[in-house]
Amino acid sequence: MPNTTGCSKRTRAVLSGVLVLACVAATGCGGTARDTGQGAAAGPRPQAARSGRVTVVYEDRTVQPQDRQVVALIRNSRVLERSADWVSRSLALPHDLVVRVTADVPPGVTDAVTQPDGRTIYIPPAFLAQIEKALADVVKTVERPAPFPASQYNTDDLTVLSTEFIFGHEMGHALQRQFLLANLGLEEDAADGYASFYTVNEVGPGPSLAAAILFDEIARKEGRLTLEGLASDHPVTQQRVFNFLCYLEGSDPAKYKKPLVDGGYLPRTRAPLCPQAWAMLDYGWWTQLQPHFSAAFTSQGDERQKKAHAHLIAATKDFAKQLDELRRAQ
C-alpha cells in the first residue's frame, strides 16, 4: 500500500506481481437492462420463484502437494463460505452457483475466474499459493503499513483477507452475469466495486486494506506500463489500489481519514471525492440487487437501500458545499 508523502524506501508497498487477478480469460456477459426501481421508495418487482444456492467445493484430489497448505488455510478460514452464505441468504439466484477450488480448470486459466454464465467460479490452488508466497515475501521485507493492524500483518492473515476481497470480485462477476445487471462502465470496475461493497458492509476494513497491499506490490513488480496493460479491460493496477482505499475511506471518513489520508496512503487530491463515491457505489449495488432480494431479506434489504439513498443525497450536498474551495485549491 503506497505512502504518498514521499517515502524513498520500500516501506508501505506490499505484494505479488505475477497475479493478474479476476477474469483474465473470461468473456463479458450480454443482456438487457432491467428496470430496478431507481427511486428510494421503489420496491423490488415480483420475481418468479428462484432457488439458486452458492456452494463451495474443495476438489482435494486435484490439489498438488505444494498447494495443500494454502488450500487448508482458506478452507479453515471459511471466507469463501462467508461470502457464499450471504449471497444465498440475501438473494434469489436464478441458478445454482458452484465455487470450485480445483486444479481442474478450463484451458488457459491460471487465476480466479468466473464463467460467462455466472454459474461457476474457478479458484486454482496454485493461484492461492502464488498469493501466499508473495505475501510471505512482503512480510519479511516490507514495513507494515500503519493502517493495517500489527496483529494481522502476517502471511496467513494477509492471504485470507486478500483472498476474501478477490473472491468478492469474482462474486460480483457471477451476480452481474446471472442477473444480467446493467453496467454503466466496464464490468471489471463493477466487480471491484462489489468486492468493496460486500466486504466494507459485511466484513470490515481488513479485506480492502489487504487487497490494497497486494495490488500495490503487483503494480510495483509490473514496472512500467505497457500498451497491453493500458489496453486491458481491467483498470491500471495502481489505480485499483487507490480505488479500494477511496471506497473504504469514503464509507466512514471520521474513522478512516486520519489513518489513510493524514497518514499519506490516500492522496489529499482524491480523498474529497471518496464519501460521494462510496455513497454512489453503496446505493448503486443495493439498487441493482433490490429486485433480486430473497423473501427473507426483502425487508432488511429495502431498508438498507433506502438508507443508502439518503446517504447519497447527503454526501452529494456535502460535496457541493466543498466544490468551490476544492477547485480554488487546484
Residue 134 reports pLDDT greater than 90:
no
pLDDT tens digits, 287-322: 999 999 999 999 999 999 999 999 999 999 988 888
Indicate left, alpha or beta for 264 from its phi (over 0: left) and psi (-120 to 50: alpha).
left
Confidence (pLDDT) at 7: 43
Task: Say how far apart CA 183 and CA 92 lie, in whole Å.
Answer: 20
Q: Mean pLDDT highest for which of 117-131, 176-190, 212-226, 236-250?
A: 117-131
The percentage of residues in the chain with a pLDDT greater than 90, rounded to a whole number, is: 69
DSSP string over 181-243: PPPSS-HHHHHHHHHHHHHHHHT-SHHHHHHHHHHHHHHHHH-S--HHHHHSSSPPHHHHHHH
Residue 203 pLDDT > 90: yes
What is the average per-residue pLDDT within 112-139?
A: 95
Q: What is the DSSP string of 265-322?
A: SS-TTTGGGHHHHHHHHHHHHHHHHGGGB-TTTHHHHHHHHHHHHHHHHHHHHHHHHH
Closest-CA residue to 247 (of 309, 195, 316, 290): 195
Instruction: Decide if pLDDT at 33 tops 60.
Output: no
For range 159-163, the mean pLDDT: 98
| Residue-level pLDDT at 319 | 87
Among 14-28, 45-59, 271-285, 312-326, where is mean pLDDT lowest?
Answer: 14-28
At residue 19, the pLDDT reads 38
Mean pLDDT of the region 257-275:
94
**pLDDT higher than 60, residue 29:** no
Contact 16, 147 (CB under 8 A): no
Task: Tell me the CA end-to-end span of the chain in Å, nearest whole number.
Answer: 25
Q: How many CB atoms lie within 10 A of CB 181?
A: 22
